[in-house]
Amino acid sequence: MDLKKTLKTIGKLLSPLKKSIIPLILIVAFLLIDVYCNLTLPKYTADIVDIGIQNTDFKYIISVGTMMMAMVLIGVVATIGLSYFSSKVSAAYGRDLRKMSYDKILKFSNFELNKISRASLITRNTNDVYQIQIFLGLFFTTILFSPILGIGSILKAMELGTNLLWIIAVTFAAAIIPFIIIFIRTIPYFKIMQELTDKINQISREILMGIPVIKAFVRQDYEEERFRKTNEDFRSVNLNVFRILLVLLPAMTLLLNLMIVLILYFGAYDAIQGEILTGTIIAFIQYATQIVMAFLMMGGFLVMIPRILVSGRRVAEVINTEITISDGPIDTIDDNPVIEFKDVVYSYPGSEKETLKDINFKLEKGKTTAIIGGTGSGKSTILNLIPRLQDVTDGEILVNDKNIKEYKLTTLRDRISYAPQKAILFEGTIRSNMLIGKEDASDEEIKKALKMAEVDFIESLEDGVSQGASNYSGGQKQRLQLARSILAERDFYLFDDCFSALDMNTEAKVKENLKGLKENSSMLIVSQRISTIMDADEIIVLDEGEIIDKGTHDYLNENCAIYREIVSSQIDRSKDLLYENEESSNYILDTSYIKKTAGGK
């Protein structure tokens, strides 16, 4: 079963090569031509020495020499062709394998993204794929070439009819021992190297994203030491690997030279006895050198195998990751859809605690629903369940009375617009970021959405957005994200606390502008601010994953203690706005006044 699974994985990893059948055929053709040329040249050398020079036949020497030159030129052309197509195929393979891995990552839900860290995914899709790509290029130019050349040289050496083949056998046996030792010793190091590469990427990412916090808490020395330690561990492992590998080259050079000395010594003895010609000795040395070098190249390749196996396993782990959230069969949704949460329960994988318990509510056209609750009460989790970024543990979410899992993901998500808690913008321009919300949006549509979101701080749609939108403030990023989310007409708009960085006045204007969306769609707003949600048709109060109560603002303010406590705490923080008389220490909670003040009217 494991063998079958392994073969299936290898098949997946090699599947991009199907697109390169013709280049692969050319690689084999150029390789065979190159090998043939290499195997022919020693015989020509022997003929020139034993026949041409021995008989002082200059015509023969010129004739055979011309053939040698032709073979050399053909061999050079074949080598160039082999290198060119090998590079082309390996580069195309790396591109396609990277795309295959990237496409799989895009299908990951939050569950899969928590299993393999983001830093590790970056390393696997770049460094690991590159290692496999380099390996493939060497495979064509070295691994296929070396055994054919080696076997061919053995057969040609046997044709010479000498009794010196035992020298090659002894040399080959002596060379195998260090290769086996090096192979065994380097396997664990390469796995550690890749893991440390992941860790370096992860620490670098954390430090770069957290620079303001690091500076604010004067943690530069601590972070420098944390990075230095990991970097030093990586250096140490690298040094250990290369110390082992450095022994290989001088050892093999020594063996090769000893082999030539032995051939010359015993060959000279046979030549004196008249059993072998001088040209034959020269040809045998060339064939012996080719044999040893061929197997040395194979040995050098074998040393790379541990690292490639590690990289292959890591990329295969991404490609073979089972997707927990998959398409359903239904590819259409009727007009005016209704989403219903029915006894929904959710627990994070590996956690025994239920994040959500018995959640029941509906999202309908023309209705604004809001969710409020403490930190960790499950508000954002509810929003993640609707576009199926996560799936329910128990219960069900229905769309027009059909389980949400029965719909294709693209069909479902085309009906939903989602503005997450953290505003995410991509490097490019304002226009390129807006077109993510609607690919065919006109400039007029984009400007209308920007106006609704009160984006009054840009000069044109070509204004740049840097990586991470670092050239905009938190409130500006939230308004740009809001504009993108309302650009296309959707049936459901999900806003996950995406007004939090806006001042009260701007928030009131944006809310007023968004009222037009309510006519043809449903809005679900998650917020910590009473002012953001108090106008909602239904407010859901969450506490530790359970719905404590739901209703309008006035109803909850009278009947729900937790909601009333949230209102009071926020009024305490803003009592200067609510005092009818600044000199008085007593104030009355007047909901109509709150609406008037928070609404900016």
Question: Mean pLDDT over all residues of the chain?
Answer: 85
Do residues 393 and 244 both lie within one domain? Answer: no
pLDDT tens string 175-214 = 777 777 777 777 778 778 878 888 888 888 788 878 878 8
Total domain count, the chain? 2
532, 454 in Cβ contact below 8 A? no
Do residues 380 and 305 both lie within one domain? Answer: no
Q: Token pair of 328, please? A: 């359903």
In a domain, 568, yes or no: no
Mean pLDDT throughout 388-415?
92
Question: CA-CA distance, 585 to 575, in Å (whole number)?
Answer: 10
Do residues 283 and 354 both lie within one domain? Answer: no
Do residues 148 and 281 both lie within one domain? Answer: yes
In a domain, 376, yes or no: yes
In a domain, 599, yes or no: no
Q: In this predicted structure, what is the pLDDT of residue 576?
A: 52
pTM: 0.71
pLDDT tens string 560-599 = 988 988 888 877 655 554 444 444 444 344 444 444 434 3
pLDDT tens string 323-362 = 888 889 998 998 889 999 999 999 987 777 889 999 999 9
In a domain, 332, yes or no: no
Q: In this predicted structure, what is the pLDDT of residue 525?
A: 93
Domain span at residue 277 reads 2-319
Identify the burial level of 217 via C-beta atoms within 10 angstroms of its C-beta, where 0-12 means exposed, 13-18 middle and 19 or more buried. Answer: exposed
| Nearest by Cα to 542 from 555, 523, 527 | 527
In a domain, 595, yes or no: no
| Nearest by Cα to 427 from 457, 465, 389 | 465
Please report, for the domain that includes residue 551, its CATH number: 3.40.50.300
Q: In this predicted structure, what is the pLDDT of residue 572?
A: 63
The confidence band for 369, taking pLDDT boundaries of 50, 70 and 90, is: very high
Mean pLDDT throughout 404-423?
91
pLDDT tens string 252-281 = 778 888 888 888 888 887 777 777 778 888
Among the listed ranges 176-180, 398-402, 403-407, 589-593, which one has the minimum average pLDDT value?
589-593
pLDDT tens string 90-108 = 999 999 999 999 999 988 8
Identify the burial level of 505 via C-beta atoms within 10 angstroms of its C-beta, where 0-12 means exposed, 13-18 middle and 19 or more buried. Answer: exposed
Do residues 300 and 360 both lie within one domain? Answer: no
In a domain, 570, yes or no: no
190, 306 in Cβ contact below 8 A? yes
pLDDT tens string 475-526 = 899 999 999 999 999 999 999 988 888 888 888 888 888 888 888 899 999 9
Q: Would the pLDDT of 62 be above 80?
A: yes
Identify the burial level of 521 via C-beta atoms within 10 angstroms of its C-beta, where 0-12 means exposed, 13-18 middle and 19 or more buried. Answer: buried
What is the per-residue DSSP string for 514-527? HGGGGGTSEEEEE-
- Helix segments in 439-498, DSSP class H: 443-452, 474-487
Q: In this predicted structure, what is the pLDDT of residue 377?
A: 86
Please report, for the domain that includes residue 290, its CATH number: 1.20.1560.10
Mean pLDDT throughout 392-417?
93
Per the DSSP assignment, residues forming a β-bridge with 416 are 492
485, 417 in Cβ contact below 8 A? yes
Name the DSSP class of 359. Answer: E
Do residues 248 and 304 both lie within one domain? Answer: yes
Q: In this predicted structure, what is the pLDDT of residue 582?
A: 45
Q: Token pair of 224, please? A: 């420098």
Q: In this predicted structure, what is the pLDDT of residue 583?
A: 43
Do residues 90 and 211 both lie within one domain? Answer: yes
pLDDT tens string 212-230 = 788 778 888 888 888 899 8
Mean pLDDT throughout 369-377?
88
Identify the burial level of 496 via C-beta atoms within 10 angstroms of its C-beta, where 0-12 means exposed, 13-18 middle and 19 or more buried. Answer: buried
Do residues 315 and 344 both lie within one domain? Answer: no
Q: In this predicted structure, what is the pLDDT of residue 574?
A: 57
402-403/394-399 β-pairing: antiparallel
Do residues 418 and 548 both lie within one domain? Answer: yes
Per the DSSP assignment, residues forming a β-bridge with 538 are 369
Q: Would the pLDDT of 415 be above 50?
A: yes
Question: 337-373: b or e for each residue (b if 16 or more CB lie within 10 Å)?
Answer: bbbbbbebebbeeeeeebbbbebebebbeebbbbbbb
Q: In this predicted structure, what is the pLDDT of residue 598?
A: 42
Do residues 147 and 275 both lie within one domain? Answer: yes
Q: In this predicted structure, what is the pLDDT of residue 2?
A: 61
In a domain, 128, yes or no: yes
Mean pLDDT throughout 445-468?
91
Q: Would the pLDDT of 450 be above 90?
A: yes
Q: In this predicted structure, what is the pLDDT of residue 447?
A: 93
What is the per-residue DSSP string for 534-594? TT-SEEEEEETTEEEEEE-HHHHHHH-HHHHHHHHHHHHHTHHHH-SSTT-S-----HHHH
Do residues 393 and 448 both lie within one domain? Answer: yes
Q: Token pair of 331, please? A: 């590819």
Question: CA-CA distance, 318 to 312, in Å (whole number)?
Answer: 10
Q: In this predicted structure, what is the pLDDT of residue 596?
A: 41
Altogether, the residues listed in the chain come to a count of 601
Do residues 377 and 308 both lie within one domain? Answer: no
Mean pLDDT throughout 38-49?
86
The confidence band for 453, taking pLDDT boundaries of 50, 70 and 90, is: very high
